[in-house]
Structure 1
């Protein structure tokens, strides 16, 4: 058995950074596509990093080529990168902002999946990080809810085409990330009732969430490929 390998997007902070750290600790070779490489990972020879702004869709395919040149197999891919703006009513959310969330949360993942298919990189398991917001439709979650719902369907559609790959859209539960703190915990809890519930609910650290999801990877394969799952219900 050779060294296991994982492809991860969005490792700059939060859950993505924790994924990279945990996989490295478990002896994986990490291939990362992100805007930032955290300082704590810069001197690790087992991570190969390629800068990519996933908002710039036309740059993703060539960035993936540079990162994965010569790679024929990946044990798992974690499509983690996501984007949320401040909570507001959808009536007050401009379409350009909605498009930005769609580009990063949905279309960037399409480009990556297309690359894996085109280059015939065998990837037996792919997990796309979704959100409970994709199904609960709480006030204030505007384009984030729409884009994560679209991500769920994107994964289901690709599962019909990638017959040798097991794909899951996974809601990771509540994680105390910079994104949650900046845009959710600071929002108006009277106007947006979900904020109060989130404040009062137990939350994982990114490290706890990454460990939980990595440990769940074998169990996820028991569910139908293309499914949407929530870690809180597995």
Structure 2
């Protein structure tokens, strides 16, 4: 699991602990309530050179993982792509795409058996709404990354999953506060039904059998299931 400091990642850890899973997490933050309860390795995915050794250290004694959830993501304030500097878009690519490649490479190199991988994508990867700049581009790239790895990881079912609209600090800080006149998607998101992270996790787990039947390498929006 990556990105467990808040939102969906935090809720996933809560869920799996209640189900008595052994949880391995790579993240910048470890909440006090999880200390001593999970295997944790600090890693800032923006420090791209640290991702492989951190993953290797976290999983050094692991032979099999039931599921890998690549949850960590980076979104910066909504703005026109013309106004978005390359360095900002590179940061989103590092966290949303390249860090996931490195983690997958490490898992393959360590010969860890993983039957199921879920990379958390977004509807932004396909809808191209104004203002979503490098986030849309990076999530679209993540979808293709998943498809390409599915061609190589024959014994693993891997999908890119858009989990629906979730009330998270990222959504509240960068989306709901944005200019809805300039960026029409903001008003639509404000009006649309939204889930808590806990509800989103339960929704994903309830639909896990359907997700497993989707061809490996696919992008899927859970709202369409």
Q: Same fold (TM over 0.5)?
A: yes
CA distance in 1, matches of 2:132, 2:76: 9
Q: CA deviation at 1:217?
A: 2.1
Are residue 218 (structure 1) and residue 218 (structure 2) matched?
no
Quote the residue 1:115 is aligned against.
106
Listed as ranges, the matches of 1:17-36 within 5 Å are: 17-36=10-29
Q: CA deviation at 1:188?
A: 0.1
Unaligned residue ranges in structure 2 (runs of 5+):
none
CA distance in 2, matches of 1:12, 1:148: 20
Unaligned residue ranges in structure 1 (runs of 5+):
1-7
CA distance in 2, matches of 1:52, 1:214: 26
Quote the residue 2:83 is aligned against.
92
Are residue 158 (structure 1) and residue 149 (structure 2) matched?
yes
CA distance in 2, matches of 1:40, 1:209: 21
Are residue 200 (structure 1) and residue 191 (structure 2) matched?
yes
TM-score normalised by structure 1 residue count: 0.95
Q: CA deviation at 1:95?
A: 0.2
Are residue 78 (structure 1) and residue 69 (structure 2) matched?
yes
CA distance in 1, matches of 2:181, 2:27: 35
Q: What is the total number of aligned residue pairs between the two structures?
A: 225
Q: CA deviation at 1:221?
A: 1.2
Q: CA deviation at 1:198?
A: 0.3
CA distance in 2, matches of 1:65, 1:161: 20
Query: C-alpha deviations, 1:54-77, integer Å up to 9, x for none?
Result: 011110111111111111000000
Query: C-alpha deviations, 1:16-62, integer Å up to 9, x for none?
Result: 00011101111110000000011221242xx1110000011110111
The alignment partner of 1:173 has SS state of coil
What is the root-mean-square deviation in Å for CA atoms of aligned residues?
Answer: 0.7
Quote the residue 1:37 is aligned against.
30
CA distance in 1, matches of 2:147, 2:197: 26
Quote the residue 1:16 is aligned against.
9
The alignment partner of 2:56 has SS state of helix
Q: CA deviation at 1:201?
A: 0.6
CA distance in 2, matches of 1:154, 1:87: 24
Aligned match for 1:56, one of 35, 44, 47: 47
Quote the residue 1:65 is aligned against.
56
Q: CA deviation at 1:189?
A: 0.2
